[in-house]
Amino acid sequence: MATSEQTKNQKSENTEKSENAEKSDKMQTAGVYVYGIVPAGVEPEEDASGVADGKVDVVAGGDIAALVSGMSVDRPLGKPEDLRAHANVLDGMSRVAPVLPLRFGAVLTDADAVKEELLSAHADEFAAALEQLEGKAQYVVKGRYVEQAILREILEEDEQAARLRDEIRDKSEDAGRQARMALGELVNNAIAGKREEDTCKAVEALGGLTDSVNRREPTHEEEAVQVAVLADVDRQDDLERAVGALAEEWDGRVEVKLLGPMAAYDFVVTANPAGQG
């Protein structure tokens, strides 16, 4: 028969094994999500919330550091809120320091892996890129045509489009099918031509304020302009005035806005560590 002391020791041993097992499970399922690279000494915003509501921190290695947060490697990534959190962390940092964004989904095992596999392995490359981005951030000019205004403009300029519009006005859907298809094609081609002209005008208006320009592919059939620019953060007021002048010129025709500052997604892309993402 076991004594009370033996029973007590057995319980203590079982408790210790259970705690060790829990620690082991946590070690196996815990990972470090990496957002991007910043200069050493930079601190994230106090209220910064990362993927899966993780607390955003930094892991430093020499003159550079990584923006990170803890997360479970068993948790699937890819929800809309995950993408927003990834961008919010990077964009928030871009307001105060240069930041190299990593592609969404970079997860390493622990802080040591971040230092060795990411920071040490690419130290010179990252440091040079951060130096080039010092004082700069990305801004995006987005504009969308006001549907009725752009259609009216096209019909006034294109006689064939106006004739087709008149042809289908009093016809049933079936009777006017061919004319509607022809009119739709004319309108789409006309919008594409106007998009090119208006994008060139936007780039020209911003030209003296930017270091680099990237014309993005349209994401909507009525999109007028979508241009990413890399510019000095201290010239944001000038950018806002330039976009404001475009908005005034295009009033009632194009709804235009300036987004940023944000991380330089269009101009610097770093490979994810160990093929993650």
Q: Tell me the C-alpha distance between 158 and 186, whole Å.
A: 9
Alpha helices in the chain (DSSP H): 4-29, 80-94, 111-113, 123-133, 147-157, 159-168, 177-206, 236-249
Asked whether the predicted pLDDT for residue 24 surpasses 50, the reply is: no
129 confidence band (pLDDT: 50, 70, 90): very high
The CA dihedral of 273, 99, 209, 146, to the nearest 10 degrees, is 70
Residue 123 falls within a domain, yes or no? yes
3-state secondary structure of 68: strand
Q: Given this model, what pLDDT does residue 56 score? A: 96
Asked whether the predicted pLDDT for residue 276 surpasses 60, the reply is: no
Q: Tell me the C-alpha distance between 96 and 136, whole Å.
A: 10
Structure pTM? Answer: 0.81
Q: How far is CA 188 from the centre of its chain?
A: 28
End residue of a domain, out of 88, 104, 134: 134
Which among 238, 254, 236 is positioned nearest to 144, based on CA atoms?
A: 254
Q: Compute the mean pLDDT over every residue in the chain, rounded to the nearest whole number.
A: 87
Percent of the chain with pLDDT over 90: 69
Residue 232 falls within a domain, yes or no? yes
Q: Under a CB-based contact definition with an 8 Å cutoff, are residues 44 and 67 in contact?
A: yes
Note the pLDDT tens digit of each residue in 200-249: 999 999 988 998 999 999 999 999 999 999 999 999 999 999 999 999 99
Residue 13 falls within a domain, yes or no? no
3-state secondary structure of 109: coil
End residue of a domain, out of 134, 160, 195: 134
Residue 267 falls within a domain, yes or no? no
Asked whether the predicted pLDDT for residue 275 surpasses 90, the reply is: no
73 confidence band (pLDDT: 50, 70, 90): confident
Residues 111 and 147 in one domain: no
Structure tokens at 107: 């997860």
When divided into structural domains, the chain yields a total of: 2
Q: Under a CB-based contact definition with an 8 Å cutoff, are residues 187 and 154 in contact?
A: yes
Q: Residue 240: which domain range?
A: 137-262
Q: Tell me the C-alpha distance between 112 and 121, whole Å.
A: 12
Residues 98 and 83 in one domain: yes
**Who's near 216: CB < 8 A, 6+ residues apart?**
140, 226, 227, 228, 266
Find the CATH number of the domain harbouring 163.
3.30.70.260
Residues 62 and 159 in one domain: no
Which among 27, 26, 24, 31 is positioned nearest to 273, based on CA atoms?
A: 31
Residues 162 and 247 in one domain: yes
Residues 255 and 178 in one domain: yes
Note the pLDDT tens digit of each residue in 147-182: 999 999 999 999 998 888 888 887 777 767 888 899
Residue 277 falls within a domain, yes or no? no
Residue 273 falls within a domain, yes or no? no
Q: Tell me the C-alpha distance between 247 and 16, whole Å.
A: 68
Residues 129 and 149 in one domain: no
Residue 186 falls within a domain, yes or no? yes
End residue of a domain, out of 104, 119, 134: 134
Residues 169 and 221 in one domain: yes
Residues 145 and 247 in one domain: yes
Residues 106 and 155 in one domain: no
